[in-house]
Amino acid sequence: MSPKGLMNLSAEYDNRSQNECQTKLVIKWNLNRKKILVERSFQFFLGLNTNISKYLLEHHGKEHFNDGSAMNHAWG
């Protein structure tokens, strides 16, 4: 989803209750973690391809890419 799409999605919740807004944020966080997991998996199966690694570090940051938390979260 584009940044503009995210802004529009957020605007739709502005007039709703605080509980609904909190639920939306939790769902958004979970979807983001799933996306990172999928991208980490692609990076793994491509044999730690340098260009893929560089892309992930630039777009998702070392805190998500290196700490293993997304993988640990997925596998329990």
pLDDT of residue 30: 60
Q: What's the total number of domains in the chain?
A: 1
Convert the pLDDT of each residue in 16-40 to its tens digit. 555 555 555 555 666 666 666 655 5
Per-residue model confidence (pLDDT) at position 76 = 36
CA distances from 27 to 30, 33, 59 (A): 5, 10, 21
Residue 42 has pLDDT above 60, yes or no: no
CA distance 13 to 10: 6
Q: Is the pLDDT of residue 58 over 60?
A: yes
pLDDT at position 55, please?
Answer: 62
Which structural domain, as residue segments, surrounds residue 34?
Answer: 3-75
pLDDT at 57 over 50: yes
